[in-house]
Amino acid sequence: MTPAELAAASDLILPMAIRVAATLRVADLLADGPLTSTALADKAGADPEALRRLMNYLVARGLFQATGDEEQREGEGASAGRLGGGQGRAEARFALGEGGRWLLDDAPGSMRKWLDLEGFGGHMDRAFFGLLGTVRDGGPVAAGNKLSLSAGAAASYDELMGERARTEGPALAQVLDWSRFTHVVDVGGGTGAQLIALLTAFPALRGTLVELPASIETAQREFSKAGVTCDVLGGNLFELELPQADAFVLRYLLHSFEDDQAVEALTKCRNALLPGGSVLVLEASDTVPAVFAAMDLLMLVLGHGRERTLAEYDAAAAAAGLRRAAIHTPTAGPRALEYVAH
């Protein structure tokens, strides 16, 4: 890495400027056409002069376009006006640029929602400002999980995870024969998007969602809207008695736990597993080192989990009385590690 590349990689101005624009929904406000800085600020609930300066920077970086003269320069008088509180400035007009289209609310990948500083993405971003203390101390001052989030951040988390599951769920439904199961329990399944995909593809399946109480009402609305019937069990996994079933799905759940809790979660599933059943663990693969390392660092700063290699998941499963029977690789989403009872 060259000094210039290091400087670019360590720059915080652009990442934060993009996040502020995403939080203010600037791209959506400009979707119908250019606006003056004053009109844009009024719609965004921002200070016109501060927003103008933010937009000028994002124009320079290619995300938006300026469609009028940003300043009116008339010799010393205009300069004096600028120093005297902004008098002498002409209205700037801004338009959506090609790069800024990825910040539209309905853009593929939900980039705006992930970058929103007032949502779960912002919660993750702010956690990294404590990275120095985390590395020095071995963990953050207070470990976090969904229970520790504000109501808004928790709802944002469910929305983001739900959108990802809606995209990836059909691929999981196709990658293995779910008709060999009678009852599937999605442990920590959010607002039910993964279960909806499975129950839609295999109507004979019985489904049960296990989730924290804060997500249950939204999940029930989603099931009703999708026209599927599903049982719902609200509560903390470690305090619940899981229903007996022949398929348990743990999707992006075990990486939220340290090793002892991961083994405990798998053990609870093993104890409720019917003969011939399977526990399916869906987690990020360690075959892409850079992505795996980034996620592992994220779990460190969030303070309640870690990414694991395939061997580490096998070891956790073995401690819970399970052995790996297969690895299923969907066309989208994480691989599914299938474990069965010893």
Helices (H), 151-212: 151-175, 193-201
Q: Say which residues have a Cβ less than 8 Å from residue 304's Cβ, sequence separation at least 6.
A: 143, 144, 145, 256, 257, 258
Question: In the prediction, which pLDDT does 5 show?
Answer: 87
Query: Does pLDDT of 143 surpass 90?
Result: no
Return d(Cα 28, Cα 149) in angstroms, integer: 27
Distance of CA 43 to CAs 9, 30, 40, 51, Å?
33, 10, 5, 11
Residue 266 identity: L
Residue bearing the bigger pLDDT, 76 or 46: 46
pLDDT in tens, 185-224: 999 999 999 999 999 999 999 999 999 998 999 999 999 9
255 among known catalytic residues: yes
First to last CA, the chain: 48
Six-digit token string for 163: 């959108």
Pairing of strands 64-66, 322-328: unpaired
Domain residues of the chain, as ranges?
11-106, 166-341
Residue 64's DSSP bridge partners are: 96
SS3 state of residue 251: strand
Question: For residue 150, what pLDDT band results from cuts at 50, 70 and 90?
Answer: confident
Model-level pTM? 0.83
DSSP 289-332: HHHHHHHHHHHHHHTS-----HHHHHHHHHHTTEEEEEEE--SS
Q: What are phi and psi for residue 142, nearest 5 degrees? A: -125, 120
Pairing of strands 245-251, 183-187: parallel
DSSP 49-112: HHHHHHHHHHHHTTSEEE-S-S----HHHHHHHHHTTSTTPPPPEEEE-TGGGGGSTTSTT-HH
Helices (H) and strands (E) in the chain, counts: 15, 10
Query: Does pLDDT of 75 surpass 70?
Result: no
pLDDT in tens, 8-22: 888 899 999 999 999
11-106 belongs to which CATH class? mainly alpha
Residue 248's DSSP bridge partners are: 185, 279
Q: Radius of gyration (Cα) for the chain, nearest Å?
A: 24
Identical fold between 11-106 and 166-341: no
Closest of 41, 44, 62 to residue 53, by C-alpha: 41
The one catalytic residue in 123, 183, 255, 304 is: 255
Q: What are phi and psi for residue 248, nearest 5 degrees? A: -120, 130
CATH topology of domain 166-341: Rossmann fold (3.40.50)
Question: For residue 64, what pLDDT band results from cuts at 50, 70 and 90?
Answer: very high
